[in-house]
Amino acid sequence: MNVPKINEIFFEYLAYWESGLQASRLAKILGQSREHVQRNTISRFERTYRVRLINSQGRMRKLADTSEGLRFAPSRPSDLVRMLDGISILFQNAPEDYPLGVRVENPLHGLMPEPDAEVFRALYAACTHKCAVRMQYHSKQGVFPMTFSPHALVQVPDRVHFRGYAQWAAGQEKGMFIDLVPARVESIDGEMIWDAVPSSEDADWHSKSSAVYRLSSELPAALAAVLRQEWASSMTDNSRPDTMVIPSVRRAVKPYVDRALRYRWFGKDHYETWIPQAVE
């Protein structure tokens, strides 16, 4: 198993994203002595990866060249925000000890359905151990008994769900793969069942393709220009103007991507923005 190199991650984080690498600061984050960090992290990193540090502000230093990207820390801003968000949660009960430069304020944490902790634990454990669980599930048709074999945990903009195989009746020969919302589970019945349906049979999960979207021609010109700027990194095909391509999207999650991109609020007005296109 490849263990994440925590020392190197925070070395690059400080030297690139904060432009403020200091041995004392890195030592505080890692809970190590300044001397140990200088000798075993900073100096070793410079030798091993042949990186050059230059002065930033005061005694702080930063990476001289990042043209080839970062080796350990997040290279994309979106991934950096996810990392900061996760670390913010780890320090939610001790905010004064938060070790990094900026804390992410995420109001969406409280806007998703919050499932019962024991229900979520049972589903998460079953997913981890590739088992099934029996439950009472509240679907749109009512409350029904279900046996569910989860194989993936998925986060979409408005909820978290488990992807897995569901059978609604005892002895039922044929079920189907569904997206199960843990907040809709009324109760878990009994212990885990080791005879689970494997994920290898979930064709929609394993099928991937590019997702293509076209900017709506009905948008006001000013808003269209804003969206072109925001999504410029995904609009790289000059032969298809106002078209965005997201590579390698699972068929099972594409409806959620479509829903997240298709409409957007600007102030008090609601617009259709990115329209899904058929992939040729």
- The pairs formed by 119-122 with CB atoms below 8 angstroms and a separation of 24 or more are 119/182, 119/185, 119/187, 119/188, 120/182, 122/188, 122/192
Q: Yes or no: say if 135 and 188 are a contact pair by the CB < 8 Å rule.
A: yes
Percent of the chain beyond pLDDT 70? 97
14: its two tokens: 């400080």
pTM of the model: 0.84
Q: How far apart are the first and last CA of the chain?
A: 39
Calpha distance 183→138 (Å, rounded): 9
Task: Give the pLDDT of residue 36.
Answer: 93
Residue 253: the pLDDT is 97
Confidence grade of residue 1 (pLDDT, cut at 50, 70, 90): very low
**130 to each of 118, 123, 198, 200, 203, how far by Cα in Å?**
18, 10, 8, 12, 17
Report the DSSP beta bridge partners of residue 193. 132
pLDDT in tens, 118-132: 999 999 999 999 999
What is the per-residue pLDDT for 4?
Answer: 60
In the prediction, which pLDDT does 171 show?
57
Query: pLDDT tens digits, residue range 29-43?
Result: 999 999 999 999 999
pLDDT for the residue numbered 168: 85
Q: What is d(CA 178, CA 165) in angstroms, rounded to the nearest whole number? A: 6
Alpha helices in the chain (DSSP H): 6-12, 23-30, 34-37, 43-49, 77-90, 117-129, 203-206, 221-230, 254-262
Residue 280 reports pLDDT greater than 70: no
The better pLDDT of the pair 238, 204 is held by 204
| Averaged pLDDT score across all residues of the chain | 90
- The pLDDT of residue 2: 52
What's the rounded mean pLDDT across residues 271-277?
96
Q: For residues 151 and 116, what is the distance between their CA atoms, to the nearest angstrom?
A: 20
Dihedral sign of CA atoms 127, 89, 77, 45 in order:
negative
CB 149 within 8 A of CB 106: no
For tokens 């994203």, name the residue: 17
Region of residue 36 (phi > 0: left; psi between -120 and 50: alpha; otherwise: beta): alpha
pLDDT of residue 108: 76
In this predicted model, what pLDDT tens digit does every residue of 77-106 receive, in sequence order?
Answer: 999 999 999 999 898 898 888 999 999 888
Please report the pLDDT score of residue 274 as a whole number: 96
pLDDT tens digits, one per residue of 141-178: 899 999 999 999 999 888 899 999 999 876 566 899 99
pLDDT in tens, 229-241: 999 988 888 888 9
Antiparallel, parallel or unpaired: β 142-156 and 269-272: unpaired
Pairing mode of beta strands 53-55, 243-250: unpaired
